Amino acid sequence: MEQRAESIEHILHEVEEGKIHLSEGQIHNLENQAKYFHEHAGHESTHSKMAMIIIFALVAFQFVLLWWKKHHYRSYQATTTIGLWIIPFAFALQSGMKQFAIVWVIFTILNSWIIYKATRKPLHHMTPKVVYKWYWVIYQISYVTGIIGYGMMFLTFMGFGVTPPKEGEEPKTSFLVTWGLTFLTYGIYFGILGRDFVEFCTESMASTLGYYTKEGFPRKHLRLGVCAICGIHVSNAISTIDAHGHLQAPVVLQPSPNGTPIEPSIKLNCGHEFHEECIRGWCLIGKKDMCPYCKEKVDLRAFKTNPWDTTQQLYLNLLDALRYMIVWQPVIMGLVQFGFYMTGLE
């Protein structure tokens, strides 16, 4: 690094003598580089140690998190959700990101009302539908927002909206990059946050009704024709799932009295019946792939009625995978930085 600093100083000396002509911005960049190389001269071995510590920490913490998730899933999930909810907001306040903070506060107020409704005892029979509808809307907004942000970034990589800087000027960030990153960040973050909160609401509502327990047998016996998700009798228009995982057309067993609309219902392979809206919300939005009552596996292909459903399911899986990066990656790097500070490594 010392040789690089000397080379840069030689170039700056020739600029002062008028042998080389550079803009003020270029001279400023060279001065900063020379300063950096002087400060870090002889630190190559230190940097190698720091890199090894970072790699070891990432691998070690990964095993710790996997063990925690496997043996104490509820505490892991609760800690992850709280961290996902609080850490970005605290970072936004520290960085002066008012726009993100405002959106976060609005989301938190509305979402708190949904959580309040989902945790009431006794549970109103319409609450599950309201909860799943809310998180479905959140998911749709995050999905569209993420796609728009990705599209803007793609256009930037293709050269659209990029203006070459004039001679002597610093390059400016394209508005497509700025808004693309904003849309992409908002879409991914609030999509992941909604995925975590809906899982909590799903288990809370099902446990309140008494037809679902995470382990062991349910507290209540499920009567024939009762939806275990909302506790209301299912309609007479019942669909079934065939051996290939396809949803069959509903069969109306009896006409609806007074001509009132019939709410479609689905009968799973285990024999239990649910309102279509309830079981779709339980499986697709609530991240459950089993019957709420008997815990028999449910073939999710039955609920994918068009190619977009498959694409959206892949997006949901992507959101679940990114949770680790948003929550635990900053925590791990923060602990590593604290370790560097305590040991005097810079």
DSSP letters along 20-86, please?
S---HHHHHHHHHHHHHHHHTTT-HHHHHHHHHHHHHHHHHHHHHHHHHHHH-HHHHHHHHHHHHHH
84: containing domain: 72-163+171-209
**CA–CA dist 210, 207 (Å, integer):** 5
**What digits encode the pLDDT tens for the residues 44-74?**
566 677 777 778 877 888 788 888 888 887 8
Confidence of residue 152 (pLDDT cuts 50, 70, 90): confident
Does some domain include residue 13? yes
Does some domain include residue 220? no
- What pLDDT sits at residue 71? 85
- The answer to whether residues 146 and 272 belong to one domain is no
Does some domain include residue 232? no
Range of lowest pLDDT (68-82, 163-177, 261-275, 278-292): 163-177
**CA–CA dist 226, 247 (Å, integer):** 20
- The answer to whether residues 202 and 115 belong to one domain is yes
Does some domain include residue 96? yes
- Max avg pLDDT among 13-27, 97-111, 145-159, 171-185: 97-111
User: Residues near 98 by Cβ (< 8 Å), separated by ≥ 6?
Assistant: 92
Range of lowest pLDDT (44-53, 189-198, 213-222, 262-271): 44-53
Four-residue CA torsion sign, 143, 148, 150, 151: positive
Does some domain include residue 259? yes
- The answer to whether residues 36 and 105 belong to one domain is no
**CA–CA dist 209, 202 (Å, integer):** 11
- The answer to whether residues 203 and 256 belong to one domain is no
- The answer to whether residues 5 and 120 belong to one domain is no
Does some domain include residue 273? yes
- The answer to whether residues 145 and 194 belong to one domain is yes
H-helix or E-strand containing 4?
helix 2-16
- The answer to whether residues 203 and 250 belong to one domain is no
pTM as predicted: 0.68
Concatenate the DSSP letters of all residues of 15-39 into one string.
HHTTSS---HHHHHHHHHHHHHHHH
**CA–CA dist 118, 133 (Å, integer):** 13
- The answer to whether residues 202 and 242 belong to one domain is no
**CA–CA dist 224, 62 (Å, integer):** 46
- The answer to whether residues 80 and 205 belong to one domain is yes
Does some domain include residue 323? no
- Max avg pLDDT among 95-104, 176-185, 201-210, 211-220: 95-104
Q: What Cα–Cα distance (Å) separates residue 296 from each residue in 12, 45, 60, 327? A: 73, 56, 35, 32
- The answer to whether residues 204 and 242 belong to one domain is no
- The answer to whether residues 1 and 130 belong to one domain is no
- The answer to whether residues 13 and 125 belong to one domain is no
Does some domain include residue 326? no
- Indicate the number of domains in the chain: 3
Helices 307-343/127-157 angle, 10° precision:
80
Q: Domain holding 287: CATH number? A: 3.30.40
Kindly state the average pLDDT of the residues 283-301.
81
Cross-strand bridge partners of residue 297: 290
CB atoms within 10 A of CB 95: 10
